Amino acid sequence: MNEEENLSEMESLRLINEMISKAKSSFVTTGAASMVWGALIVFCSLLTWLQIYLNYFFFVDVWSLTLVAVFFQVYFSIRERKLRNFLAHDETITTYVWSAFGICIFLLSFYNSKFGNNDQSISSLFMLLYGIPTFITGGVYKNKPMIAGGILCWGLCIISMFTENTTDMLLMAASGLFAWLIPGIILWSSYQKKRAANV
Amino acid sequence: MQEENFSPQASLALIQSMIAKTRQGISDNSIHFLIWGWVTFVACIGQFILKNMLDYKQHYLVWLLVFPASLASIYLGMKQNKKREATTYVGESMRYLWMGMGIGYFVLSMILTRLGWNTTIYPFFMLLYGLGTFISGKLLEFKPLVYGGLMAWVLAIGSTFFNYDYQMLFGAGAILVSYIIPSYLLKIKVNKKKNFL
């Protein structure tokens, strides 16, 4: 173990700041996770919409792709963590937020598979859930596009209460776009700029 | 200002004290958890009695209790805001969490209004009870909240095997284990610590 080093108050603050900025270049905040998840939701929603529109179901289990995506996200996040020897506090928070979100999505999917044929608009409930972790993560990282994305998801959820199921799929695609894909692209480009500046 | 030296242990202790401070802050503000917990609990049980025992058609009117509860909560919140000290990082995260949860509940209530009162909406409310308390419990490192959140999710699954009339009782159970009991336990823990100091 390293020799114990005494830190001044200023050094402690600097260390905390450094941890925050290091954490900001993590897998989550590079925008990669956000982009993958967002692109997948947009793809699945648009494909479902197209299938309903054409009344031809060529890929019924399209949403099962989200499970594959969850698997890869967990794998990359574990691998990332093994490479680093610390976990910043904001990352701990977002890990809990997204774990809880994952459990809720699983429960909602379970509910949907059990009562999928009733007339409730389950897509509205999914959009409601999409908004919550995005808004909290945006708040924790002070990321305005994510805060706006979360709020937009709730707005789209309210609109979906007044629309047909087919249109709901387009609203769902918009949720994925605003909540994850666009904020992810913004995070990715700012990460690339920072990386280029540091080289 | 004279610069103070911190050992790594002292730095960790500082972070722990931030969590403890937030925990105390949440305990001081637990009145909100308790107001909402008890109002929801009474409304669930009340609706069950009105609908199933008294066969009262407008059983849902019991949920009007939410309006005075909201006013009381807003009034107390404004009063507490005036004497609020500097917020910690955990406190700031909790603020965003509960802001998000509040909007979530509001939107879910709008969905409920749109779908009608006989819709099996209770599991979704229980899903949200679990979400808020599970994350809070992890942030505050307070296990009763974590377990409360997990139990709310289990009750949400359990309720899907029963019809709407009985889901109300599951709702009451979920709010009891996820809001009411952990709030009292948190209050006891913080008070014990205060007395110890």
State the Cα angle at B123 between B30 and B70, rounded to 5°: 35
Higher pLDDT pick, A98 / B83: A98
Contact A132 B135 (CB under 8 A): no
Local confidence band at B160 (pLDDT 50, 70, 90 cut-offs): confident
B191 CB near a chain A CB, below 8 Å? no
Tens of pLDDT, residue by residue over B50-101, are 988 998 888 888 988 988 888 888 888 777 767 665 566 677 788 888 889 9
Contact A139 B104 (CB under 8 A): no
Contact A7 B156 (CB under 8 A): no
Higher pLDDT pick, A67 / B65: B65
- In DSSP notation, A144-199 reads HHHHHHHHHHHHHHHHHTTS-HHHHHHHHHHHHIIIIIHHHHHHHHHHHHHHHHH-
For position B10, what pLDDT does the model report?
Answer: 66
Chain B partners within 8 Å of A136 (Cβ): 93, 96-97, 100, 135
Query: Distance between CA B178 and CA A184 in Å, rounded?
Result: 33
Of the ranges A73-87, A98-112, A163-177, B103-117, which is most confident? Answer: A163-177
Tens of pLDDT, residue by residue over B6-49, are 566 666 666 666 666 666 666 666 778 888 899 999 999 999 99
DSSP B50: I
B103 CB near a chain A CB, below 8 Å? yes
Local confidence band at A90 (pLDDT 50, 70, 90 cut-offs): low
Q: List Cβ neighbours of A21 (8 Å cut-off, separation of 6 or more).
A: none
The complex's ipTM works out to: 0.74
Q: B121: closest CA among B164, B158, B63?
A: B164
Higher pLDDT pick, B21 / B136: B136
Query: Distance between CA B75 and CA B72 in Å, rounded?
Result: 5
Structure tokens at B145: 């909240």
Q: Which of A14, A19, A95, A103 to mutate to test the interface with B (most CBs of B within 10 A)?
A: A103
Nearest chain B residue to A132, by CA: B100
Local confidence band at B142 (pLDDT 50, 70, 90 cut-offs): confident
| Minimal Cβ distance to A9: which of B4, B115, B127 | B4
Contact between B110 and B132 under an 8 Å Cβ cutoff? The reply is: no
Contact B135 A96 (CB under 8 A): yes
Structure tokens at B20: 């403890």
B12 CB near a chain A CB, below 8 Å? no
Mean pLDDT is lowest, of A96-100, B19-23, B101-105, B138-142, for: B19-23
Tens of pLDDT, residue by residue over A14-57, are 666 555 555 555 545 677 788 888 999 999 999 988 988 888 77
